[in-house]
């Protein structure tokens, strides 16, 4: 919301400059005497944010693509709640890779604004992986309440790569 207001303000200032320039030109003013609207420094922070968002997206996407190719995601993940591998070392390996991708995302966005969704997704993933490990889900627990908690964590992990990708894409929009 604030980003939109800033962009509107920049647009209004730029449009005002064009209108003023237009009025001066009609009065015979020399164009070379007019200040260039494109040299306004207020546009540069938006560009820097866009560059940072693109850098984050590329780094996260590169990591996700490698891990997702190896482990799959969603119903193709060994951590899918319908997968027979959910309570095995295969899901633990996928969980670890997902946590590492989330950690990369958090390192990439550190110190940058406009990545609230990616930050939230990455932290949620790391919490789910931590819970999966703490409960010993990869060793096939037998207690019903433990298995239920494992199912919840595994479902978050299985959606991890697509959720990180969506968060990185939303970062391009400052969300």
- pLDDT tens string 59-90: 889 999 999 999 999 999 999 999 999 999 99
Query: Where exactly are the structural domains of the chain?
Result: 1-42, 47-172
User: How much is the pLDDT for 157?
Assistant: 97
User: How much is the pLDDT for 20?
Assistant: 39
* Separation in Å, CA 19 to CA 15, 26, 41, 95, 137: 6, 11, 19, 57, 66
Q: What does DSSP assign to residue 41?
A: T
Go through 115-138 and write b for each residue having 16 or more CB atoms within 10 A of its CB, e for each that does not: bebbbebbebbbebbebbeebebb
- How many other β-carbons are positioned within 10 Å of the β-carbon of residue 86? 26
User: How much is the pLDDT for 112?
Assistant: 82
Query: In 3D, which of 166, 69, 74, 79 has the Cα closest to residue 122?
Result: 166
Q: Which residues of the chain have pLDDT under 70?
A: 1-47
User: How much is the pLDDT for 18?
Assistant: 38
User: How much is the pLDDT for 45?
Assistant: 52
Distance of alpha carbon 133 from its chain centroid, rounded? 25
């Amino acid at each position: 919301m604030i980003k939109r207001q800033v962009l509107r303000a920049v647009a209004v200032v730029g449009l005002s400059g064009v209108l003023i320039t237009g009025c001066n030109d009609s009065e015979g003013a020399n164009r070379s005497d007019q200040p260039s609207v494109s040299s306004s420094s207020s546009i540069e922070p938006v560009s820097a944010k866009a560059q940072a968002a693109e850098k984050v997206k590329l780094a996260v996407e590169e990591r996700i693509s490698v891990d997702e190719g190896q482990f799959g995601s969603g119903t193709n993940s060994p951590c899918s709640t319908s997968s027979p591998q959910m309570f095995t070392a295969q899901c633990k390996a996928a969980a670890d890779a997902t946590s590492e991708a989330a950690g990369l995302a958090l390192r990439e966005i550190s110190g940058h604004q406009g990545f609230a969704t990616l930050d939230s997704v990455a932290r949620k993933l790391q919490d789910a992986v931590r819970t999966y490990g703490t409960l010993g889900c990869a060793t096939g627990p037998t207690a019903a309440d433990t298995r239920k908690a494992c199912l919840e964590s595994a479902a978050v992990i299985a959606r991890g790569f697509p959720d990180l990708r969506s968060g990185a894409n939303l970062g391009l929009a400052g969300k």
